[in-house]
Amino acid sequence: MAESGRHPFLQGLSKHRGAPPTVVVIFGASGDLTARKLLPAVYNLSHDNLLPADFHLVGFGRKAMADAEFRALAEAAVKEFSRREPDPEVWARVAARTSYVAGGYDEPAAYQRLAAQLAELERELGRDLQRIFYVSTPPSVFAAIIEQLGACGLAAIHRDTPLHSKVIIEKPFGKDLASAVALNAAIRGVFAEQQVYRIDHYLGKETVQDLLVQRFANAIFEPLWNRNFIASVQITVAEEVGVGSRGGYYEQSGCLRDMLQNHTMQLLALTAMEPPGSLAPEAIRDEKVKVLNAIQPLAVGPGGEVARAQYAAGMVAGRPVPGYLQEEGIAPASATETYAALRLSINNWRWQGVPFYLRSGKRLARRVSEIAVNFRRPPGTLFAGETSRFDLAANTLAFQIQPDEGLSLILNTKIPGLETRTQPVKMSFRYATTFGSNTAEAYERLVLDAIIGDGTLFIRGDETEASWRLYTPVLESWRAAGREGMDTYPAGSWGPASADALLAGAQHRWRQP
């Protein structure tokens, strides 16, 4: 069997998916993301024979390192973080094509050295390589890298055939609308939009991609997917972890910028968008932008549509943990939120009057990301009155994004017996049960998609601006208010009371996922 030994997910997938000969240059090559996600992704793609035969990797960073030192660092990272035990033969293949260039991110001479190294590589191979520049540095140097890539000709060299150079940019993409617009302008001064791949790793998650399949490959959902049948939608992205050692970054960011502006909004866009005309990247992204633009501005302040809070000391997984203000690198009077919740209204034909509740936070009771679609209740004529016999719940369709990926539907059912009594039951589908576990990580899919030129799972410039347009006034108002209006919640809980209040007016409650 030609495909023996391949994971079931890979069987039937054409090897390389048409990937052209490629060199990936990682800026920030000694960093945390490179070690934990990017190098393991490259390794696993290579393991699954999905990389082009001519695939090369170049690390770039300020840290002075010989090629051998970078290879050793990369090998250690793959050993520690790869989802599968590395096969020495596969790693040797990757390592043989891995090198390193040291230099400053704004140092023109360093880019000349990089350009010379890439030219030498192409000369040795006797062919051009597609050049992918992966910007995995702190955002403070994103613009400098873009500018230098333009100035030294690396971005423009194959401008007439855009497939030949691409840039992948990490998050956060800006810190507000003005900075996102400026970054988009800097990028567009150097690259054409189809060369640009703005990462949101949530889009690389299997279950997030499955949203489109569930919505549009099944006939039963679409007729119900609107204000006539849906009472509310709740999107939860909850983390058990605290801020850890990332206090420096997090203090400047906070939950709204770190999670809601990007990951959670992408979940909302895929849930709420209109059916795209095709699966072409632009068709899907056009629909996402339309629905993001239809969201109404948020009311901030007492009785408004947003809540923010910081975790206080509490218990997580049976052990005591400190509050946010006691964490390393956090200002004692910090006004940075570790939790945010919102009530959004989408003013279009499909969704008018249906509240979308979004929440995300660190140090919550459990790590879970889900989208719960709550349906309206049927007319209460038949099974009403006798609450002791008729325990009825609203139907809820919940997409569990992670962990324990799956889909569940809450239905009301008759309890077996001689009289009619009802009880809500959960019908579940679990990915791991049906398809097995150890599936490709988000970054594998995203790196491969960038190589083959599929931008579907990346964010377009106007999408990120639409999202910032919604959130920037909220951030400005919070900045002006300082700590006033900042709620707290015990670590290990489901969040603050002010978040419950957002739902109370409609007699809704947060689900306990």
Binding site for ligand NDP (CB under 6 A): 28, 30-34, 36, 61-63, 105, 136-141, 170-172
487 near 498, Cβ under 8 Å? yes
Contact residues for 295 (Cβ-Cβ < 8 A; gap 6+): 344, 345, 346, 347, 470
Pairing of strands 196-198, 165-169: parallel
Pairing of strands 406-414, 422-430: antiparallel
We find the least distance from the C-beta atom of residue 97 to ligand NDP, in angstroms, to be 21
Please spell the DSSP secondary structure of 153-168, one letter per residue: TTTTTTTTSGGGEEEE
Q: Which is nearer to ligand BG6, 266 or 488 (CB)?
A: 266
We find the least distance from the C-beta atom of residue 239 to ligand BG6, in angstroms, to be 6
We find the least distance from the C-beta atom of residue 171 to ligand NDP, in angstroms, to be 5
Q: Which of 75, 147, 210, 258 binds ligand BG6 (CB under 6 A)?
A: 258
We find the least distance from the C-beta atom of residue 181 to ligand NDP, in angstroms, to be 18
Q: Binds 32, which of ligand NDP, ligand BG6, none (CB < 5 to 8 A, cut-off by type)?
A: ligand NDP
Q: Which is nearer to ligand BG6, 179 or 348 (CB)?
A: 179
Give the integer Cα–Cα distance in Å for 233 and 496: 19
Q: Which is nearer to ligand NDP, 30 or 117 (CB)?
A: 30
Q: Which is nearer to ligand NDP, 44 or 253 (CB)?
A: 253
Contact residues for 62 (Cβ-Cβ < 8 A; gap 6+): 102, 103, 104, 105
Give the integer Cα–Cα distance in Å for 458 and 510: 30
Q: Which of 48, 210, 239, 449 binds ligand BG6 (CB under 6 A)?
A: 239
Has 47 been annotated as catalytic? no
Q: Among 47, 164, 263, 508, which one carries the catalytic annotation?
A: 263
Q: Which is nearer to ligand BG6, 48 or 239 (CB)?
A: 239
Q: Does the CA dihedral 324-169-298-345 come out positive or negative?
A: negative
What one-character DSSP code corresponds to residue 433?
H
Q: Which is nearer to ligand BG6, 316 or 410 (CB)?
A: 316
Contact residues for 353 (Cβ-Cβ < 8 A; gap 6+): 227, 345
We find the least distance from the C-beta atom of residue 277 to ligand BG6, in angstroms, to be 30
Residue nearest to ligand BG6 (CB): 258
Total of residues contacting ligand BG6 (CB under 6 A): 3
Q: Tell whether residue 465 is a contact of ligand BG6 (CB under 6 A).
A: no
Q: Tell whether residue 441 is a contact of ligand BG6 (CB under 6 A).
A: no
Partnered with residue 320 across adjacent β-strands are: 315
We find the least distance from the C-beta atom of residue 65 to ligand NDP, in angstroms, to be 8
Mask 167-196, x = binds ligand BG6 (CB under 6 A)? ----x-------------------------
The helix/strand/coil state of 151 is helix
How far from 24 is each of 231, 332, 389, CA to CA, in Å?
Answer: 46, 42, 63
Q: Binds 136, which of ligand NDP, ligand BG6, none (CB < 5 to 8 A, cut-off by type)?
A: ligand NDP
Give the integer Cα–Cα distance in Å for 45 and 14: 13
How far from 19 is each of 179, 352, 429, CA to CA, in Å?
Answer: 34, 43, 33
What one-character DSSP code corresponds to residue 44?
H
Which positions are catalytic? 263
The binding site for ligand BG6 (CB under 6 A) comprises 171, 239, 258
